[in-house]
Structure 1
Amino acid sequence: MSSYYVTKIVQDKYGFLWVGTQEGLNLFDGIRFRIFSGESVEKHNIGGSFIGDLVEDRKRSLLWVVTSYGDVCAINLATRIVEKKISHDGEGKKFSEKWIRCLQLQGDILWICGLNTISAYNVEEDRFLDTGPLLQTMAAQGECNIAKMVRDNSNRMWLFSEGYGVVVIGEDLKPVRSFNEAQFSSPTQQKLLFREAIVNGDAVYTATSRGLFVFNSGKKNNAPFFTKGNMPGLSHQPEIRALVFTGPSTLLFSTPSRVYSFDTGVKKITEIEDENPDNTGLRSVFQMHYDSLSGKIWAGSQSGLSAFTLEESAFQAFSKSRVSSTKIKHLYGVLPVSDREVYAGDENGVYWIDTHTREIVRMDTSSGNFMLFGDAAKNIFLSNLSGLHLVRNKKLIAAHKVFPELHRLESDLLSSGLQYNDSLILFASAIQKGLYVWNSQSRLLTTFHGDSARHAIPGLSIINYLFRGAGPDVFVLTEKSVVRFNPVTGVHSVHKIGSPSSKENFNLMDMCETDRSYWFATYGAGLVETDKDLNPKGFITVKQGLSNNCIYRVFNYNDRSVIATSNNGLSIINTGNYDVDKYFKADGLHGSAFEQLCGYTLNGKIYAGGADGFTIIDPVYLSVNRSAPALYMQNIRIETQAGAVDTCNLAIREIVVPNNVLQTTLNFSALNYRNPRRVSYQYRIDELGDEWIDIGNQDFVNLIGLRPGTYRFQVRASNEEGIRTEPLELTMTYLPKWYQTIWFRLLLLLSGGLVIYGIQLYRIGQIKKQQQIRREIANDLHDDIGSTLNSLKIFAHLAQHDADNKEHVLQIESSVSTATVSLRDMIWVLDDDQDSLYELMERIKKFALPVCMVNSINLVTSVDAASGMLVSKKAKRNLLLIAKESVNNAIKYAACQNIRVTLIQTKNLLTLKVEDDGRGFNIGTLVPGKGLASIRYRAGQIAFKCDIISIPGKGTTIELSGKG
């Protein structure tokens, strides 16, 4: 909380508490505070810190706030944002220059009053009404210093002005009735100060520095009818600081040092006392608020915020003496001897407690005080590390000095005692020395032990406790078994109770009996229910709702419930439906940790303790909180790389999450002021699964990595009894990134389709190219090979008829050679391994070099293939034929000495250049033929540019360039 000095408490329509202090306004949900002040961020900035007054505007879902010498602000109750600030009054004067003390609503009119200030602001019309005449009237008759205001059930405003008195204002803003200060007291008394004013029916109750005044607001002639003088039951008329009604006739009021309950019907006053003398929450209380749902009264003082209830509590805790500094640290045993008197054994002392005055006296400093037992003769036995004692007159004396036959028990440490009948008393050893049966009339002590020759009970070990039910048998509970024993006859039987799965015997700490069952407390295995023959019927553990599996003492309550103490909390099991209710220190127990032997019953009440004291438990007042918490979505925080955005709206049901989100945090609040720290939460996201995820009392969920889409987030809360709220649902729409959108996916599919279509088109084009190449090759083969074979046929025929002519044989040889070369060229073109420029140049050289050498022509070749690109089959074939044609023409017609063939391949261009230094020719006068037309035709077939440059006397250059 922002400050310990509380000035105002208001509970809004949602159930949240707004606590004004001298250092800011605090929004409280039972667990944590959110602070509004002049130092807060803009949306929570109220312009000042010292809260003068608060008033809820339910019609507009606003909380009006005024700070001393500050603005009047309106906070939206759903979004918690400061929506409006009123800085000036109707005359244009700043509120920050005035002492504004109180606010009140009269329909749509917000009254803003203080020292020499009366303003009436119409909220709906956003304008101030004329209150000048009213202010002038009050100022003329006395000091106008309005400290408190209240609206009665007739919609009239009551203005309480210190130095003037009381003025009642009608709906027309005109005075209906007034009371001056002289009517309340004599002039000799100190100035009358108004502390609080509340309405109850037709009465207006007013807390003042001179006591309580009550006005009848339903009568025309109003007058205070509370009798002056001493209040009933009080020695003097005290100053009253705070008032609150908790019922039609139950008025709580505070004085500078006390809080009282006042029955306005019978005029009876009762002081309300805090059980813990160290608490100061009920001292100097300035504000009180009653929450009818939880039954709690919230008290604000100069020491902070506290809460208490007038309901009769089932728990009365004792830890520290009210009249001294004596404090119980850790109890091992407790024994009530009457409703008022209790003895307790601590680790370092023995205590006497008066439960009425809450006085605790340490009467002995002995240590290890275990068993406390009272017999029928009202003897009180105490067993500790120094032996067995009797408690008499708040002092310890050795038991054997009164009962010599108990001398044997001096060296033992007892765990339990039991009065069997008017003469037999049983004592149990905690250190394996057996079971003692003492006849207090015959003064005979008998020991039963596992190794005893005359009184043997097999398996008798460490005895945890003794119990007697409705029958004649005593149940001896040990760490390994339960012994059913009749101390009169000595008849006994040993029974094992263990786990049905592991066959391990339970360590039995205690037991109790109901009408149909026995209930065994175990250490580590929870609670075991058996039939009357000790056959297990059921097992109850933490899985079924127990607060802890280490159970110490169990008590039957009216055959309807079993009350169990444990290492951590108190569990109450319904014997009918096995529902479990749990209670802890926060519920009013002395603490949550109980001790093994520290439990006793007297007159229907249970006395149980452990660390930090003991508690008197009255099961009659055990109430169950059947009200589910009020659940709200408190805050939504969306974190992105650009920063974080907080959204607060109690009514929010859907939200859009941007596509650059890193983490979404959902905060929720479940209002359960009866036991706020026992609220537990579960959540689920429908789209991710149907199972509820238990997150305990964690009131937030972090969501990371959710894919784009719409999700239904559901959360529900449970109170300490497991009563659940209906699920609260929030629809979250996670926006996709650009590459996760539908249009992008469609575009991706379309692009993929186009790529596949393009690949298919490319494949078809390649197939067509291959077919075209095959067709051209087939045509070439048909033309070349066909003509060659036809020539062979002719020359062969001529050779048959003219055998002496060798020319025919030479012609046949030439034709075969030509056909062979053509076939090899075609095979080379089709070979995929021969598609580089180097292979093309090698093929050209294979043709050109022999013919150049024969004609004494120097052949020079060069290749520049830096890009390493391959040459298509079509280009390879045509470039080879062009090169052959060009070299052929140079040899036949150019009369050259040198021929240079160059292949150059750049990134996007392939160039073939054939140069000679022959006679050249004039392009313009060239006679058709000589293969130039064929060169241009083949260049066109592969989309190459063909340049033929020839100058007479300077040679010829044929250059082709294009994409290979």
Structure 2
Amino acid sequence: MRRILLCLLFFVIPLRVSADGILQFRHVKLPAGIGDAIVNNATIDSHGLLWFFNTSGLHRYDGNHLLTFDLVSTPSVIFNAITTIVIDQSDNLWIGTQSGLVFFDTHRWTTRLITPLNDPGEGGTHFIKRICIGSDGTIYTTGNNYKIYRVEKEHLVQIADLSDQPRADPFARAIDYIGEPVKNQLWVVHSGRLQCLERSGNAYTPGAYLAMPELKNSITPEVYFHPSGKIVFFAGKAGIQVFNPRTRQLTKVKQVNGDTLSIAGYIRFFLLPNGELGIYIRRLGVFQYDAAQDKVFVPENNIPANFFNADVTSVVTRDNKVYCSFESGVAELELTKDPFRNLLTTNDDPTAHSIRAIYKSSDSCLYVTSYKEGFIRLNEATGHFTPIVNGVIYRVLPWDDHRLLLATEGNGLHWYDLKTGVVTPQVANIPASKGQPDRVPRFFISIVRENDSLVWLGTYRGAFLLNIHTGIMSPQGKGKAALALQNSRINEILPLNGHCYFATINGLFDLDRSDDSVQALPVSQTTPDNLNTCYSIRLVNNQLWLGSNGRGIQIIDLHGKLIREIDAGNGLTGNIVYTLVQQGHWMIAGTEHGLSIIDTRNGQITSYSQLDHLPSNEFNHAAAAVYGDRVYMGTLNGITTFRVEDMLRYKHADMDLKVSLTNFSTTSGMTLTQHHNLPYLSDVKLEVPPGVDFFSLSFGGTDKRTDLLNYYYRIEEDGPWLEIGQQHDISIARITPGQYTFHLATRFPGQAVFKELLSVPLAVLPAFYETVWFRLLCILIVLLGIVAIFRYKVRQLLKEQSLRTKIAGDLHDEVGSTLTRIYFQADRLSALPEAPLMAKQIASSSREALRTMSDMVWSIDSRFDTAADLVSRMKDFISNLGDELDIRFVFNVTGAYAGMPLTQIIRQNYFQIFKEAVSNATRNASEPVINIKLHFSEVIALLISNTFPESEEPVKKPYQGGQGTYFMQQRSQLMKGELETWQEGQVYYLKLTVPVR
């Protein structure tokens, strides 16, 4: 018997506490860092985060990450010897230690010591044994000195001193229990007796002990004040007692059958999720107290094995869940209302009880085979089982009222007698043929009864018909397809109307019994070879339903023609269908991702998964059976049983998961900054500081469903959802500064829409050089620079103009006057008859020098930097030249030029080219007329044309102007202009085009 209990040590067996639901048990899987230290005071806050302590400190666990607080953590717990913790209504922690009371402000993420007020005898610190939260949120504490304190304004204020109260043990120095079930009434247990303290002003006055002499001062700290007014408590060997303060009657609690409840070990009281009192009794399990009858209910499915040899240190109830602390772990009891009843499931080893076969006998016992325990007899009511045969029984075939034919993996066929429990082998061998010796198969996968003598057997190498009387196995079929059949693993056999269908790893085969011909049915010509595997086959409305490996359910006619497919794309939980079982017009499919119920009349699909408290999402091949209105299906983690009608009425599990943002980390260089207090902030706004390389977010919760979902996130409202799978951490590289919103979502099985779980504002702060003000400052600096440069250039230009004007004036005044005097003197001298030829030459040179100097002065003088001055100068030049050479110039000026400014470079070089071009034209013209056109627009276009003698055409055509043309080209390039020359007949043209700017 002890071996059986040890085998059941960590089973998750459901406990029915009322018609409203089932109490499901599971272990909270803690990280390896916890070690083997005993877990104490495991409790959960309003955000679904688990808090507890052990010898290594205080811990917070979010189902993903473990935070530890000790003397050197931030924040620290100040003292390392923790005795108790409680969480108040604001999710702040009150931590009792051997040296004082510590307040953990989870909102500010700080801790501080709550010191005694005006109590120098304590030396500023004292031992905290119990912490009680009053009806109005007031914190009360007791230690080992019989004093009671209340927290007021960050100090401990003494409100009662029971040290002078009579007690059975004069050396006892502790109050074992304190509570405030009624406002202004404190109830305490000390010296094994129960006492009430009434409030008087700011203090509490002790009343008399409740007289219970028969208990001999044996009341323990396990006390519960029932809403009916009764007080339930544990009195050691006296058992569980109920005291009625109104009648002063003391009653010992009994079982519903009238027997006195036998107490083994110790007990814990706690509130069940249905609002009733729960009682944990070591080695006996969990019970429910009935206040009306002063009795306890022994549940139909008690779960003592879950707590076998486990010392529960505390039990806390919050948010429909009960958390039990024991040894090195935490257990959770959750009240669920799902239609599933699970057997042989385990939390510590989820594949320990992988189920292979299920058979239910007339006495309501289940005969089950699992990979761990072999073939067992299971009491469905209690969950206890009795081993029968070791090894794996793959199929169970009922033969008559008291016999089962067992098909094993590795040990052949056996008969099991239900009455005697005797197991005997069934002879089965394949006679020698075609040079093959006799063979004795040991591995059988499928078994179907043909008649009273014949049985169809499926093996890893073919299908056979066994005569149970002779023990001879004979292969069936002939032809090429029959050979393929005999080389296949046979997963399922379906005899039907003179045919026999075989579901194999190589597809579906049809054996025609009339002529033993075998054909492979072409279910889908496009199916790859590795997806041909057919696990299960059922007949529905003269159609075959096939459970396939990767293509969901394939529905075909009896000739293999594919009619339609049902897969994950249209509602099935998965595309690998291991088992199909039919009940009425419903087809139940067990897949690799859950369970689906299909209405064969209209094709409507309803799907379920571990979110609905299935023991496992993956079902085993052929491990299914229907008995009456109940369906039994084997999974990788035990059996689930249900009624289809209940499931269709059942509302899917509450999908409002408690998922909290538990950490926000930013990394800049070698600096890591973390924020763990996000769940407790009323207005969460994430900020990424400037210069951060990347940041990460963590989320979680202790709800087991959070580990079963795939998650998605995005930070832009219209951005795509990014899948992160089942991980609970997200790392994001540096993104453009701006305002975003972090969204976390999931998709539940069988649903296409996203369900948003979290939405938190996210601000990525820019570095100083990325801010608008910095950019505006940069623009302002650039503008100021441009203004400064402009003003500098203006000053330089003004200086240049002033210098040019001064040079022009000086040149005109000093050099011009001198040349003028020389010219007049030479001119008077040349007029004399006796004047030498040299004087005439001096006069001519002086006149030419004066003209050149005048042009230079004009080109330098900034007062003439306009197009109008240039035109005027051009007209003066051709007027003087025409008078001297008796040549007529036709000068046409077009365009708006009156107010057009010109740079000194354009004005000077344009005029010099003009002079050179006109001079060349006058020297080479054959007619006394030269045409000049000047047009002003965005460019200044000059066109000069002249006619030259026909006799000189070969010479003048390429060379008019001689070397001067080269210099004119140089000047035009200085102005970024273009100079062209060409001839048309006897006319020579020169065109100069210069941009104004």
- Confirm or deny a common fold (TM above 0.5): yes
- CA offset digits 1:197-222 (Å, max 9, x no partner): 454442222233235444556x5454
Give % identity.
14
CA contact (8 A) 2:184 2:198 kept: no
1:6–1:614: structure 2 CA closer, same or farther, 3 Å change rule?
A: closer
Alignment of 1:511 onto 2:511? no
| 1:226-237 alignment runs, 5 A limit | 226=252, 233=259, 236-237=262-263
How many residues in Structure 1 have an aligned counterpart in Structure 2?
800
Equivalent of residue 305 in structure 1, options 321, 330, 335: 330
1:628 and 1:560 mapped to 2: Cα distance? 30
| 1:502-541 alignment runs, 5 A limit | 506-512=532-538, 519-528=545-554, 535-541=562-568
How far is the alpha carbon of 1:705 from its aligned partner? 1.5
Alignment partner, residue 652 of structure 1: 683
Equivalent of residue 82 in structure 2, options 38, 42, 50: 50
Equivalent of residue 35 in structure 1, options 68, 74, 77: 68
CA contact (8 A) 1:148 1:197 kept: no
Alignment partner, residue 953 of structure 1: none
- CA offset digits 1:690-741 (Å, max 9, x no partner): 3222223332333332333222222245678879765433223333322222
1:196–1:473: structure 2 CA closer, same or farther, 3 Å change rule?
A: farther
Alignment of 1:712 onto 2:757? no
Alignment partner, residue 956 of structure 1: none
How far is the alpha carbon of 1:825 from its aligned partner? 10
Equivalent of residue 751 in structure 1, options 765, 774, 781: 781
Alignment partner, residue 62 of structure 1: 92
2:429 and 2:706 mapped to 1: Cα distance? 54
Matched to 2:488, the amino acid is I
Matched to 2:639, the amino acid is T
Equivalent of residue 580 in structure 2, options 538, 554, 559: 554
1:222–1:658: structure 2 CA closer, same or farther, 3 Å change rule?
A: farther
| 1:376-455 alignment runs, 5 A limit | 378-382=403-407, 384=409, 390=415, 394-400=422-428, 410=440, 414-420=444-450, 425-431=455-461, 433=462, 435-437=463-465, 447-451=475-479
Equivalent of residue 284 in structure 1, options 311, 316, 320: 311
- Structure having greater relative contact order (Cα 8 Å, sep ≥ 6): 2
- CA offset digits 1:774-809 (Å, max 9, x no partner): 666766776757975885586367446425635525
Q: Which runs of 5+ in 2 are unaligned?
A: 1-33, 862-903, 906-997
CA contact (8 A) 1:230 1:236 kept: no
2:65 and 2:792 mapped to 1: Cα distance? 70
Equivalent of residue 675 in structure 1, options 678, 699, 705: 705
- Give the match's secondary structure for 1:524: coil
1:410 and 1:80 mapped to 2: Cα distance? 72
Alignment partner, residue 847 of structure 1: none
1:313–1:151: structure 2 CA closer, same or farther, 3 Å change rule?
A: farther
2:844 and 2:275 mapped to 1: Cα distance? 140
Matched to 1:336, the amino acid is Y
Alignment partner, residue 504 of structure 2: 478
CA contact (8 A) 1:241 1:255 kept: yes
1:90–1:754: structure 2 CA closer, same or farther, 3 Å change rule?
A: same
How far is the alpha carbon of 1:161 from its aligned partner? 1.0
Alignment of 1:242 onto 2:271? no
Alignment of 1:8 onto 2:37? no
Alignment partner, residue 25 of structure 1: 58
Equivalent of residue 596 in structure 2, options 572, 584, 587: 572
Matched to 1:334, the amino acid is A
Alignment partner, residue 237 of structure 2: 210
Matched to 2:477, the amino acid is H
CA contact (8 A) 2:341 2:642 kept: yes
Alignment partner, residue 122 of structure 2: 93
Matched to 2:139, the amino acid is L
1:734–1:344: structure 2 CA closer, same or farther, 3 Å change rule?
A: closer
CA contact (8 A) 1:4 1:301 kept: no
Alignment partner, residue 654 of structure 2: 626
CA contact (8 A) 2:355 2:371 kept: yes
2:713 and 2:208 mapped to 1: Cα distance? 58
Normalized against structure 1, the TM-score is what?
0.68
- CA offset digits 1:457-506 (Å, max 9, x no partner): 99786253335499886542234443456657979875322376979973
- CA offset digits 1:350-383 (Å, max 9, x no partner): 6445456755647467xx9766544458451426
1:345 and 1:633 mapped to 2: Cα distance? 41
Alignment partner, residue 340 of structure 1: 365
CA contact (8 A) 1:520 1:529 kept: yes
1:61 and 1:363 mapped to 2: Cα distance? 53
CA contact (8 A) 2:696 2:731 kept: yes
Normalized against structure 2, the TM-score is what?
0.66
1:671–1:262: structure 2 CA closer, same or farther, 3 Å change rule?
A: closer
1:223–1:18: structure 2 CA closer, same or farther, 3 Å change rule?
A: farther
- Give the match's secondary structure for 1:686: coil
1:716 and 1:220 mapped to 2: Cα distance? 55
CA contact (8 A) 1:231 1:237 kept: no
| 1:153-232 alignment runs, 5 A limit | 153=182, 156-169=185-198, 174=204, 178-179=208-209, 183-186=213-216, 192-215=219-242, 219-220=245-246, 222-226=248-252
| 1:718-797 alignment runs, 5 A limit | 726-764=756-794, 784=815, 788=819, 791=822, 795=826
Alignment partner, residue 121 of structure 1: 150
1:411–1:124: structure 2 CA closer, same or farther, 3 Å change rule?
A: closer
How far is the alpha carbon of 1:121 from its aligned partner? 1.8
CA contact (8 A) 1:557 1:619 kept: no
- CA offset digits 1:280-331 (Å, max 9, x no partner): 56622232233453xx432222343223457685322379999xxxx99797
CA contact (8 A) 1:683 1:715 kept: yes
- Give the match's secondary structure for 1:146: coil
Task: Tell me whether 789-798 or 146-155 shows the greater mean CA deviation.
Answer: 789-798
Alignment partner, residue 663 of structure 2: 635
How far is the alpha carbon of 1:159 from its aligned partner? 0.8
CA contact (8 A) 1:177 1:222 kept: no
2:745 and 2:335 mapped to 1: Cα distance? 30
Alignment partner, residue 343 of structure 2: 316
2:238 and 2:587 mapped to 1: Cα distance? 48
- Give the match's secondary structure for 1:289: strand
Equivalent of residue 833 in structure 2, options 762, 784, 802: 802
1:170 and 1:710 mapped to 2: Cα distance? 54
- Give the match's secondary structure for 2:457: strand
CA contact (8 A) 1:287 1:301 kept: yes
1:510 and 1:460 mapped to 2: Cα distance? 18
- CA offset digits 1:44-88 (Å, max 9, x no partner): 415243323x44432x55333312x22122333545533552345
- Give the match's secondary structure for 1:225: strand
Equivalent of residue 81 in structure 1, options 99, 106, 110: 110
- Give the match's secondary structure for 2:609: strand
1:441–1:305: structure 2 CA closer, same or farther, 3 Å change rule?
A: closer
1:641 and 1:668 mapped to 2: Cα distance? 24
CA contact (8 A) 2:407 2:447 kept: no
Alignment partner, residue 145 of structure 1: 174
Matched to 1:677, the amino acid is D
- Give the match's secondary structure for 1:808: helix
- Give the match's secondary structure for 1:675: helix
Matched to 1:340, the amino acid is C
1:469–1:708: structure 2 CA closer, same or farther, 3 Å change rule?
A: farther
